[in-house]
Structure 1
């Protein structure tokens, strides 16, 4: 089933117009926290994907052992090698606090690893981001991290989780979701409910993007988005299936590309929320699910396009040059953005 047209129209509203009215930074400033000695590709893929989708600035916050490699991949990335294993915690916290204040969204997890010092820095950054009401994308070893302590993200509805099959199974178990009593197509929403309404992007043959919130108006909103209401407990569920065609080769870093595209769209959402463009008719509570759907659509389409060229030999780096074309295929040519107006 195709993504509902009204969802696509809402996503278009948060896309920055290319009409010369915005200055540098008003189309999104993205941060990616990850990158230790053994993992340098993943944070690069996430950060570069955000840039290639259209974010203005992309920062990588990493360990010194990863910084030189990441810098060598592209001069377009701004690399901050501040996650030093033996650095004083107060100093790193101060540097992180200053850096996060300049960003619209933080992507945590690509190349993070599970070393204690990197996990501790990720927790520190997540807590700081929450105090600043930043949008968050949590992937890879950040999902492992929150699985050890669900309170890190519970109830924070400005977060998007992007688990793959293995990560989703583990997270479901950690959240107490019984696969025997919850149908497969409802598990993402159930995980969201157990985590207090965060958006869950369950990756698979078809991506499922779900949220289950409490205490919100339980009705059809003005745009006609369908909500499923549990009258008894006043819970609002929304599940969107993205069946956009993807490539037949699922390369190892495709999830990092997804993290970057969702991050870029969340950064656009933050700019939209701040009034940089548009009329702000979309409530901030909808921005995470819209960004998740948009990022999924673009990533799957870029995979399809790259696979048609590379076939079995497809690697993650092949996908990134197709992100702009994938964006145009789903949301219209960029040259028309200025003429499109706010839909």
Structure 2
């Protein structure tokens, strides 16, 4: 198993071209949130904005618009009950995220079907949280989806999806399971020192801390992944960099804080990324 260290960051995060505009840095659609779980939509979309995504649209329940527009004025909002607008947003996005705080009711299930049926080969689809639960419950096939697939389960969600109890989630078993579920997908098993599986390659980050054990941390990671893929394109290295960046920033915060809240991590992203980009430019 390959160990991912700080060097991955300078391989991906580079200075911005002076002659560029917001469209150069990804069009991200995040389908997230529900009446009980609005915070997930805010954290994932805020992380995407702060990690440099050019355009972020949040498809969520209308009742959460005010909170999102107040907290993240950079993000646009779409009522995901409006199928025409949601379908249009799916069509226009480079990266589609579905799942954070979405819930598992009948309408959430219909949204998962909508995305799986309409995602295109040139897009990246990030399946997270509730979307993974729905896929596991309904035994939905992922093998026919032409988009680049990224699955981001924590160990409990991976158990539901793969059928592997946590103590059975070994490198070999995880590799076998993802090859059966979606052989072309990139799988992140979120845990202490999270693991990445992609096309028979397995890697593991060497960062992270106990202060990250708090609600919303996974939603924040999802937003960072979406932002980096939107800016630097889909690849194993891009996702490795996103995963390491998430824990690297958290480790810096944990040096002086007992707990690492998602909001703290999110606010530190632009400064840390700028420092990495400057070091990349220096060679």
**TM-score of the alignment, normalized to the shorter chain, above 0.5:** yes
Partner of 1:189: 175
Shift of the alpha carbon at 1:16? 5.8
Shift of the alpha carbon at 1:172? 1.6
Find the aligned partners of 1:69 and 1:264 in 2 and give their Cα distance: 21
Partner of 1:102: 92
Partner of 2:267: 321
Shift of the alpha carbon at 1:268? 2.0
Find the aligned partners of 2:189 and 2:14 in 1 and give their Cα distance: 27
Q: Aligned pair in 2 of structure 1 residues 5, 52: CA closer, same or farther (>3 Å)?
A: closer
In the TM superposition, what are the counterparts of 1:292-303 in structure 2 within 5 Å?
292-303=239-250
Find the aligned partners of 1:5 and 1:322 in 2 and give their Cα distance: 17
Cα shift readout 1:220-239 (whole Å, capped 9, x = no counterpart): xxxxxxxxxxxxxxxxx100
TM-score (norm 2): 0.87
Do the aligned partners of 1:2 and 1:244 also contact (CA within 8 Å) in 2? Answer: no
Do the aligned partners of 2:192 and 2:208 also contact (CA within 8 Å) in 1? Answer: no
Shift of the alpha carbon at 1:51? 1.2
Do the aligned partners of 2:155 and 2:166 also contact (CA within 8 Å) in 1? Answer: no
Find the aligned partners of 2:5 and 2:247 in 1 and give their Cα distance: 17
Partner of 1:246: 209
**RMSD, aligned CA:** 2.6
The secondary structure found in structure 1 opposite 2:161 is helix
Shift of the alpha carbon at 1:245? 3.7
Partner of 1:219: none
Q: Aligned pair in 2 of structure 1 residues 308, 125: CA closer, same or farther (>3 Å)?
A: same
Find the aligned partners of 2:217 and 2:169 in 1 and give their Cα distance: 27
Find the aligned partners of 2:267 and 2:6 in 1 and give their Cα distance: 26
- Structure 1, unaligned stretches of length 5 or more? 213-236, 271-286
TM-score (norm 1): 0.73
Partner of 1:148: 137
Q: Aligned pair in 2 of structure 1 residues 125, 169: CA closer, same or farther (>3 Å)?
A: same
Find the aligned partners of 1:96 and 1:310 in 2 and give their Cα distance: 40
How many residues were matched structurally? 280
Q: Aligned pair in 2 of structure 1 residues 73, 194: CA closer, same or farther (>3 Å)?
A: same
- Structure 2, unaligned stretches of length 5 or more? none
In the TM superposition, what are the counterparts of 1:168-207 in structure 2 within 5 Å?
168-173=158-163, 184-197=170-183, 198-207=185-194
In the TM superposition, what are the counterparts of 1:226-237 in structure 2 within 5 Å?
237=200
Do the aligned partners of 1:247 and 1:305 also contact (CA within 8 Å) in 2? Answer: no
Find the aligned partners of 2:172 and 2:280 in 1 and give their Cα distance: 36
> Rg larger in 1 or in 2?
1
Partner of 2:70: 72
Shift of the alpha carbon at 1:310? 2.9
